[in-house]
Amino acid sequence: MCGIVGYIGKQKASPILINGLMRLEYRGYDSAGISTIEPEGLVVMKDKGRVKNLYDLDGINDLKGTIGIAHTRWATHGKPSKENAHPHQDNSKLFSVVHNGIIENYNELRKFLTDKGYKFYSDTDTEVVPNLIHYYFSKDDEKDIKMRLLKAIKATCADLKGSFALEIICKDLPDNMIVVRKDSPLVIGKGDGENYISSDIPAILSFTRNFYLLNDLEYVFLSRDSAEFYDKDLNKIDKQIQSIEWDASSSEKNGYEDFMLKEIYEQPTAIRETIGAKFNENSKCEFDELNFSKEYLSSVNKIYIVACGTAMHAGLAGKNVFEKLCRIPTEVDVASEFRYRDPLIDDKTLCIFVSQSGETADTIAALKLSKERGAKTISISNVIGSSITREADYSMYTHAGPEIAVASTKAHTSQIVLLIMIAIYFAEVLGKDSKELLELKKELLELPKQIEQCLTLADTVKEFAHKIYQEKDVFFIGRGVDEVVAKEASLKLKEISYIHSESYPAGELKHGAIALIEKGITVVGIMTDPTLVEKTVSNLQEVITRGAKTLIVTNQKIDKSMFDVVVEVPETNPFLSPVLSVIPLQLLAYYISKEKGLDVDKPRNLAKSVTVE
């Protein structure tokens, strides 16, 4: 959550900072601000509301500084307001600081500083940071101001409990900036005589393709021409630059009205890129990143797939594949609950962690617990070099490209595909039925073309969206893997249309929820598993009898006359059907939100990267 941008170079900083913040708007925020080093000292400009509001602030066009920091805030401590917006300063205005994350012990630190005579002007946890830096800086007699400041920041970080990514500028060091992170994302982009800092690569991808990826408690002393790296004990370390292959234009709308619509239509490409050259119809699935032995996989007695939200739904789609192809018991857990239930993990447990951003705090915490208990860990992420990929024993990437809209679409379907491919790989290593696996791989290679067919259904979906966009409640039902799609479709509708929706296993309706079905209410049914169609049709008849309107997504032969609207997706292996059947329902949520005149890409109260627990 929140977003960080920084710049140190030869150009005027403020336009670069504001442009970077605009590229981070998808992360979710309620206020924004910048601080630059000007000839007269540090200047802070901030306000609640959208980033564009910064252009209206008096004096913002007069800023000339070539070093600055910037932030979009998502409220945790204190309501959205100008006072609570970042950047924050110490009482003497010697330091400006922006912070992503949460300081869990801020009350204790605030009391400590108040007792030392410091005053506070906001309700945020962040304001303790610049004042703590000032406290340690002012009590040190170190002659070298650079090392004095590094030591003060190190001492401050040692006091902080929680997560943080920090950018710090100092009036007494007008040509430098210091950054550090712990459990919150931060990258440095290297340019020619300039350096860019951001919480997300896409925000600065148009300026550079060369990035330094920071580990926890690595301190970076930045100038225009250099970046000096220090470990947690302030010993100098070397850091290698990594080149990012993402195309900067993929972070733009490219003629689409919204990022979400663009990303829905990018799914054929995303799936092709995720499959890559891992296999063809006649070859085994190869993962150099894993290289597991039959002996090891035979020893695994349980797989956990751990994730949050949409990524968790991808895990549910994958569970069925691991169990049926590999015959390994597989559980899917919500990351925020996983470590608090004392899960049964040992060296015979394999844990797979799924996160689009690779920065999801709950998922990272669950990963660390699993490693402590001896499990092998695999991360699945869409962001190269993200925190989760550096924590896991093995890292796997979807290749969906930057996903900007808060509501995930192409990352979700890419996650499902990658999980299926990993399950195929495991099954082949274990020596399972090669005929079944060959057929599945053949159908997997057809998915991109079949997704293109699904996208041609947009007009039918749009027409139905127009009929129901004013409704207050919608139900999604299915059986087996179709119920997983119902969960994801319900979440998408909630996220961007603010319509209350629920998903149910179709057979569970009569155990309570059918009491809510009345004349005119909309029920969406998903039917792609041929072994479960008849039973799902029976459940749908129960809601039709009670007056419900119905939208059906199916690839089976059914009596269409029973239902109001039937959307037919291509027939495929039931393992793969969640990739196809979810696409019309992504479009349904999108078009309903558009009918309501809402901000599709930036729904209220939500953030793209959930970096707090």
Note the pLDDT tens digit of each residue in 204-231.
888 888 999 888 899 999 999 999 999 9
Structure confidence at residue 589 (pLDDT): 95
Spans of the chain below 50 pLDDT: 611-612
Same domain, 359 and 275: yes
Q: Is 294 a catalytic residue?
A: no
Structure confidence at residue 447 (pLDDT): 95
Same domain, 548 and 403: no
In a domain, 375, yes or no: yes
> What is the CB neighbour count within 10 angstroms for residue 559?
8
> What is the CB neighbour count within 10 angstroms for residue 382?
26
Same domain, 547 and 428: no
In a domain, 466, yes or no: yes
Same domain, 424 and 481: no
Q: Report how far residue 68's alpha carbon sits from residue 142's, in angstroms, rounded to the nearest whole number.
A: 26
Q: Is 608 a catalytic residue?
A: yes
Of 401, 436, 454, the one marking the end of a domain is 454
List the alpha helices (DSSP H) in 431-576. Answer: 434-455, 458-468, 481-497, 533-545
Same domain, 331 and 474: no
Q: Report how far residue 13's alpha carbon sits from residue 3's, in angstroms, rounded to the nearest whole number.
A: 17
Same domain, 201 and 266: no
CATH code assigned at 427: 3.40.50.10490
DSSP state, residue 339: G
Quote the tokens at residue 613: 């627990």
Q: What would the DSSP string read from start to end of 21-58?
A: HHHTGGG--SEEEEEEEETTEEEEEEEES-GGGGGGST
> What is the CB neighbour count within 10 angstroms for residue 440?
22
Of 209, 229, 244, the one marking the end of a domain is 244
Q: Report how far residue 57's alpha carbon sits from residue 86's, in angstroms, rounded to the nearest whole number.
A: 15
CATH code assigned at 195: 3.60.20.10
In a domain, 600, yes or no: no
> What is the CB neighbour count within 10 angstroms for residue 12?
15
Quote the tokens at residue 188: 């440095």
Q: Report how far residue 80's alpha carbon sits from residue 164's, in angstroms, rounded to the nearest whole number.
A: 20
Same domain, 90 and 239: yes
Q: Report how far residue 136's alpha carbon sits from residue 128's, in angstroms, rounded to the nearest whole number.
A: 12
Q: Report how far residue 76's alpha carbon sits from residue 31's, in angstroms, rounded to the nearest whole number.
A: 12
From the DSSP assignment, how many helices (H) and strands (E) are in the chain? 17, 25
Q: Report how far residue 588's alpha carbon sits from residue 487's, in angstroms, rounded to the nearest whole number.
A: 14
- Which residues lie below 8 Å from residue 297, measured CB to CB, with a gap of 6+? 326, 328, 426, 429, 430
Same domain, 575 and 470: yes
- Cis? peptide before 603, omega within 30° of 0: no
> What is the CB neighbour count within 10 angstroms for residue 107?
12
Same domain, 487 and 373: no
pLDDT in tens, 128-154: 999 999 999 999 988 899 999 999 999
Q: How many angstroms separate the Cα of 345 from the Cα of each of 331, 369, 373, 393, 523? A: 12, 9, 6, 16, 40
CB 585 within 8 A of CB 494: no
pTM of the model: 0.70
CB 93 within 8 A of CB 82: no
In a domain, 59, yes or no: yes
Sign of the torsion angle spanned by Cα atoms 229, 235, 240, 245: negative
The amino acid at residue 450 is Q
Structure confidence at residue 342 (pLDDT): 86
Q: Report how far residue 381's alpha carbon sits from residue 396's, in angstroms, rounded to the nearest whole number.
A: 7
Structural domain boundaries, residue 112: 3-244
Q: How many domains does the chain have?
A: 3
Q: Report how far residue 579's alpha carbon sits from residue 398's, in angstroms, rounded to the nearest whole number.
A: 14
In a domain, 601, yes or no: no
Same domain, 143 and 10: yes
Same domain, 479 and 554: yes
In a domain, 604, yes or no: no
Same domain, 309 and 351: yes
End-to-end CA distance of the chain: 11
Sign of the torsion angle spanned by Cα atoms 286, 384, 395, 351: negative
In a domain, 610, yes or no: no
Residues β-bridged to residue 36: 43, 68
Q: Report how far residue 426's alpha carbon sits from residue 471's, in angstroms, rounded to the nearest whole number.
A: 45
Structure confidence at residue 281 (pLDDT): 66
- Residue from 319, 492, 594, 608 carrying the catalytic annotation: 608
Reduce the DSSP state of residue 230 to 3 states and report it: strand
How does 50-86 read in b/e, with b if 16+ C-beta sit within 10 Å? bbeebeeeeebeebebbbbbbbbbbbeebeebeebbb
Q: Report how far residue 290's alpha carbon sits from residue 284's, in angstroms, rounded to the nearest whole number.
A: 14
CB 596 within 8 A of CB 496: no
Hunting for tokens 């030869």 — which residue is that? 10
Of 400, 423, 454, the one marking the end of a domain is 454
- Residue from 2, 308, 351, 454 carrying the catalytic annotation: 2
In a domain, 569, yes or no: yes
CB 546 within 8 A of CB 517: yes
